[in-house]
Amino acid sequence: MYNEIGPQKSYKFYLFVVVAVISFAIGWESSRLGFLTTKVVKIDSGTTVTKDPSDESGQSKSGVDMGLFWKIWEEIANKYVDESVLKDENMVYGAIKGMVNALSDPYTVFMTPEESVQFNESLEGTLEGIGAELTVKDKKLTIVSPLRKSPAEKAGLLSGDVIYKIEGVPTETMSLIEAITKIRGKKGTTVTLTIIRSKLEKPFDVTILRDSINIESVTQEKLKNGIVYLSVNQFNDKTDSEFSKYISDLIMNEPKGLIIDLRYNGGGYLDIAVELLSYLLPKDTPAVIIKERGKADSILKTNGNAKLLNVPLVVIVNDSSASASEIMAGAVQDHKRGVVMGTKTFGKGSVQEVERFSDGSSLRVTIAKWFTPDNKSINKVGLTPDIFVEIQDEDIKNTYDRQKEEAIKYLENLKK
């Protein structure tokens, strides 16, 4: 599944903060930001209901009495008053979701065929919704970040806002997938969210006009004094080629400094994070350590595509930088390739594998944890930047990007 010389494209590690962070609603899903998946496995399944797979005594292989499950199934099937809602398929899916939810792991999720289609669409980077990344934090539906130039950002939603209600319905009993489904919708339609914000005494309603969410993986800005600013917004299949294009342009113009902005980046594919690190670090440099149950640690290394080994570098992060973003920032920090600036990151350090079934349903299951090259775990604690720079309330009012400006100042001072 892994090797010692680097990741292979077949490894689709979803490093989103997903369910932690799922932007697919909301536009698409995070995290990318949240996920990290190792592979996709197709497994046959069907909707035909048969008796339990336990032995004649009713005991499953794990020693659990499965007879209780089937007794309750039969009780419902034979006695529930509204026979029209008794659909075997829905009951099977509901039972599976209950089993998965019992793990209390927000990153391990079972998705019905419909939800799986939405998830797969989210990986394409273009959807219709409000454009925000979500997570379940302390059992509350929380905004990790609004996507740049999205309806959510235009409506004034902020990182840390809690979505208390969707169209008047409380979210506390909704799964993340259910909430996302309710928030998503066709371009031109509206959705009303009831928001709880820490600095405000009372909840307030926000009505948002849904739109097409087009996410650019990488954007470039050439700043003064030969400094180049690259904003990496996600780690998807397009990110490597877009990043490479800008890097080739940088080499032609001999940059004096490089800023890579990973703020509000909920993550994406693990192998893409390693590919981007390969432009910045020498060949065979450890990028990330993967730890699975019952297996030896695996070290994924850079691939020898280094083009910017000596250009002064600042990586900007914040509390919405997660997963693949944290892998990239963590490797830069551990190898002292540059300076990590901003605020502590999200803290998503687990790996998910996606298994797809013949009926169209799928299971995203946590199968490993990842560590930085120095064997540090950032899971649930985040990555601490080398230089702490926080956005102030006055910065927001004045539309002043303090973190970006401090990164520019840092690189300018290096040349003096």
CA–CA distance from 169 to each of 142, 164, 260 (Å)? 15, 8, 40
67-70, Cβ contacts within 8 angstroms, sequence gap of 24 or more: 69/95
96, 142, 279 from 179: Cα distances, Å: 19, 11, 38
Residue pair 387/341 in contact (Cβ under 8 Å)? The answer is yes
Q: What is the dihedral of CA 92, 95, 97, 103, to 10 degrees?
A: -150
Q: What is the DSSP letter of 235?
A: B
* Lookup result for tokens 């687990």: 350
Written as one string, the DSSP assignment of 15-66 is: EE--SS-B-BTTTB-SHHHH-----EEEE---S-----SS-TTSB-TTS-BT
Active-site annotation, residues: 323, 348, 352
C-alpha R_g of the chain: 23
Please report where in the chains the tokens 């009780």 appear, as a residue.
75
Amino acid 272 reads: I
How far CA 115 is from CA of 25, 120, 122, 180, in Å, comes to 11, 9, 11, 10
| Closest by CA position to 22, among listed 232, 234, 197, 172 | 234
